[in-house]
Chains A and B, each alone.
Chain A
Amino acid sequence: MKKIFSIVLLFIVTLGAFDASAQCKGFAKKICKAALDPYIHDGNFHAAVLTEGEEAELYKTFYSDTEYRIAVCGSEQLPKIEFKVVDANNNVLYSNKEHNYATTWDFRLSSSQQLKIVIKVLTSTTNVENVQSGCVAIMFGFKESK
């Protein structure tokens, strides 16, 4: 029975992922893209519907001589979203938890690196009836480093 339940849960999670883009595009375009200003949005679009307590990861190479802004935005109904930027050796380079859950982070690199961005929707309740889910978008802006 446990196996059946696990299969059903996996199916639901997958179904949620398929529907994610459609629900999230408008949100990402209106809310998250605006948070990138004055950086230029790179044009990529990463978004998913996440539920409280869920995590997502994003891998991207960031290049030297460029200044970047990461914007991580969640739908209004979601609790705060924690995001960490981690290097190839799993060292945490930035955690927005230490910056009052800021939704953007500006940085530049002295040498190019592949970094991982780990995002987690915090939980606001212990009551499963009130668990929220909503769109979470990660977007990047850039400008030439001075």
Chain B
Amino acid sequence: MKHFKVIWIVVLFLAGMISSCNSCNKKKVPEVQVEVDTEIIENINQAKKIFYSLPSPLETAMLIKTAGATYNEKLLNPLSNVTNYTTTKSMALNLGIYTTDLSFASLFDQTQTAINYMQAAKKLANGLGILDAIDNKTIQRLEENINNRDVIMDIISETFMSTSSFLKENDRTAVASIVLVGGWIEGLYIGTSLIDPNNLKDNKLVERVVDQKLSLDIVLKLLEENKNNPDVASVYVEMNELKKIFDKIEIKTSKVEAVTDKATNVTTLKSTSKQIVTPEVFKELTEKIRSIRSNFIM
């Protein structure tokens, strides 16, 4: 008990020092005579920052497009659904879903659709209390740059960064992770919906969908960080069900060799990869993704 008092006095003193000195560059380390041993160092190392990075909605949309996707507006989550989303979980999931949809539309130069989806995303961001990430200026900038895809992509990327940083700053990483998962699932849904089940061989879109097995591992780690949040816990269960199907798919990759082109200074990480997936497993995967996405947009 006495030890606890000592800890709290030290902690409060140091916390006060840190919070009152945000702009200070130098850390004044209190002179404490301590015998630092390996156990302490190990504890600090275990606390080192680890980031899990999922493809953002913009990257997801670009990955589908470069794999040969065609634009089909019917695949997007209808705008009329926006009024159905009133819980934190449904707003977060569909903020991610609408952001992927608007990214997808903008990559195919469907700017008016992108603007309409940005309006829906704005509504959900406001509902989640994310202030100023998407404002009327954002919409206005989109309208002014209707024919400039680079600027539009920059606006989308900026908007997503503002949304996720707002959530992180406000200690709402659980919501931020749900937004990302929503966007990622929408990409999988659009990708699998555009695949002809009778034409799986040498299909770039199939390859891209199967590649997501590598990101699913990161999805689970990201959600595990906030598993005590009930919304995250329910999404985690669905992602684990998806994992069971992805586990039936095998990806064999050779050793990676890095080769740099001296003229362009771009390195190519050379390796070969073989994906082993049967039509039955791919069908099961497609159906599971459809069912998860359907639950998300309900």
Binding site for B on A (CB under 8 A): 1-2, 4-23, 25, 28-29, 33, 40-46, 48, 50-51, 54-61, 63-67, 75, 77, 87-89, 91, 93-94, 105-114, 128-134, 138, 140, 142, 144-145
Contacts and interface: CB of A to CB of B under 8 A. Distances in A.
A110 B157 contact: no
Interface stretch (B59-67, B75-83, B124-132): B59-67
B177 to A, nearest CB: 12
16 contacts: A4-B3, A8-B10, A41-B158, A45-B164, A45-B168, A48-B49, A50-B49, A61-B211, A61-B215, A87-B256, A91-B255, A106-B264, A108-B268, A111-B271, A128-B29, A132-B27
A146 to B, nearest CB: 10
A109 to B, nearest CB: 5
A4 B6 contact: yes
Interface centre among A7, A111, A131, A142 (most CB of B within 10 A): A111
B272 interface: yes
Contacts, number: 211
B218 A57 contact: no
B15 to A, nearest CB: 6
B281 interface: no
Interface residues of B, number: 79
Given A7-B7, A56-B49, A110-B269, A2 B34 contact: yes
Contacts of B153: 40
A64 B205 CA distance: 12
A54 B66 CA distance: 38
B27 A131 contact: yes
Interface string B156-174: 1111110011001101000
B1 interface: no
Contacts of B34: 1-2, 5
Given A43-B58, A108-B269, A114-B217, A21 B15 contact: no
A107 B44 contact: no
B269 A18 contact: no
Contacts of A41: 154, 157-158, 161
A42 B29 contact: no
Given A21-B165, A59-B221, A9 B43 contact: yes
Contacts of B253: 88, 111, 113
Contacts of A29: 161
A15 B117 CA distance: 37
Candidate in B59, B211, B272 with the most chain A CB atoms within 10 angstroms: B59
B39 interface: yes
Contact of B218 (A61, A88, A131): A61
Contact of A106 (B27, B159, B168, B265): B265
A5 B32 CA distance: 10
B57 interface: yes
Nearest to B14: A12
